[in-house]
Structure 1
């Protein structure tokens, strides 16, 4: 049943990706904020128009959320958590690093995740207890055991953070830059989480825990990564922040972030 559910979800996401890819142009340039915001809205709407009816047919009992910046606990039951265009701000500027993300959460626990990168034609999938895959090939996180060779990342998931959080982000970047080989700050967050799952990056941390990250978190977990809150406790959908890392660098990264 899980594999049938994953196959149907993946097919729906691929159709939505094709719809968005037809809208995307590497030549896109935004003259101002008004046009940029309109482009973001139109892209999201185009993907939702495909995914909402498709996912409702696949799992009619599951409720729907496409608030990409939403956080906090969910009522019991099943929920489709959808990020229509992760990295939408990149897409409207003609950059290729954007994706479509879907996860199915059951009683606060992710059981299925799909991230599709249409420009690269890369499909990342994960099911609880079933492993993580890229185009059908099993994923494993990095085997690194030292931060001095690690590729790390973070990102601003929500707009409008207060000054204190921006200062914390800046301080953590400085601290991790001293400890790791390279640190990037970029969006979409789900892109970085997929790279951690694939072993292309070694760790990613967030000071906010947005529900639209759930597919990426499940990918890392199912690829053998360690995902905890920033105190080292278990990751929770309603938590405040997290570290997703290869097991060999997780403890050292947690220490750096807590310094």
Structure 2
């Protein structure tokens, strides 16, 4: 059995897991912001929902792929470079979840020798299901998708700030520079969703500085399989240890790199 067909058979099982965990979380989500006024209270409220959901997610994924280990920390930047690992998040978009917003979901990536080979992103409140397997293209709600063909001046470009931002100054100057060259710069929710939306043309490019492998891996595969170019912000091949990230439509990837490398 070749790798492509192996992952093709695994994909519907991973989708089923994402739907199950998404339903579990959705039943505990409120459109009213969490009533907490300090960080400890916010974290306590979040862990009440996230801990059992994360345990369910890891348990179900472990059952369908026993040889794959699970990442210990869904926020950590460390990804195994050998063997298979599930990198997953039961509530991807924690801040939005806590604020009562619909921009959260379940993200799953199967990583083999440091490279994503399968990805599922399920957004229950938005009814969006992005999937991809390596060499098999990207899909949104079952339909094949491709990146846009826009030029930079007409592009919607998105960005975010990861928990492990080692280059905050560069992030700030790049935002100023990008605002001068694009139609709009926005942050539209979870990092994984914004990158996946590059694959479907809803977003034309996404960039970020900092170590953020666990949030980037699912979207990176979906974007790449949708025809987007995925590199770091200097144009080098992106890998989980990179300290910057760029996914862009082929028509504007080179222009985005120029902007990111130009002082504002």
TM-score after normalising by structure 1? 0.94
1:133-172 deviations in whole A, cap 9, x for unaligned?
011100111111x21100001101116x46xx33222211
Q: How does 1:114-153 map to 2 (within 5 A)?
A: 114-144=120-150, 146-153=151-158
* Large movers: runs of 4+ above 3 Å: none
Instruction: Say whether residues 1:47 and 2:53 are aligned partners.
Output: yes
Q: Could you list the runs of 5+ residues in structure 2 that have no partner in the other structure?
A: 1-5
- Aligned 8 A contact 2:208 2:246 in 1: yes
Residue 30 of structure 1, CA deviation = 2.8
- Aligned 8 A contact 1:69 1:157 in 2: no
Residue 49 of structure 1, CA deviation = 2.5
Aligned equivalents of 1:191 and 1:43: distance in 2? 21
Q: How does 1:22-33 map to 2 (within 5 A)?
A: 22-33=27-38
Instruction: Say whether residues 1:173 and 2:175 are aligned partners.
Output: yes
Aligned equivalents of 1:253 and 1:71: distance in 2? 25
Q: How does 1:49-88 map to 2 (within 5 A)?
A: 49-88=55-94
After superposition, the Cα gap between the structure-2 partners of 1:99 and 1:66, relative to the gap in structure 1 and judged at 3 Å, is farther
Aligned equivalents of 1:193 and 1:124: distance in 2? 11
Aligned equivalents of 1:187 and 1:210: distance in 2? 15
2:109 to 103, 107, 111: 103
After superposition, the Cα gap between the structure-2 partners of 1:246 and 1:140, relative to the gap in structure 1 and judged at 3 Å, is same
- Aligned 8 A contact 1:214 1:237 in 2: yes
1:52-88 deviations in whole A, cap 9, x for unaligned?
1111110101000152332245241000001221111
Instruction: Say whether residues 1:10 and 2:15 are aligned partners.
Output: yes
Tell me the matched-pair count.
255
The answer for the alignment partner of 1:201 in structure 2 is 203
Aligned equivalents of 2:147 and 2:72: distance in 1? 28
Instruction: Say whether residues 1:229 and 2:194 are aligned partners.
Output: no
Residue 256 of structure 1, CA deviation = 0.4
The answer for the alignment partner of 1:91 in structure 2 is 97
Superposition RMSD on alpha carbons, in Å?
Answer: 1.5
Give 3-state SS (helix, strand or coil) of 1:194's partner.
Answer: helix
The answer for the alignment partner of 2:251 in structure 1 is 248
After superposition, the Cα gap between the structure-2 partners of 1:187 and 1:168, relative to the gap in structure 1 and judged at 3 Å, is farther
Q: Could you list the runs of 5+ residues in structure 1 that have no partner in the other structure?
A: none
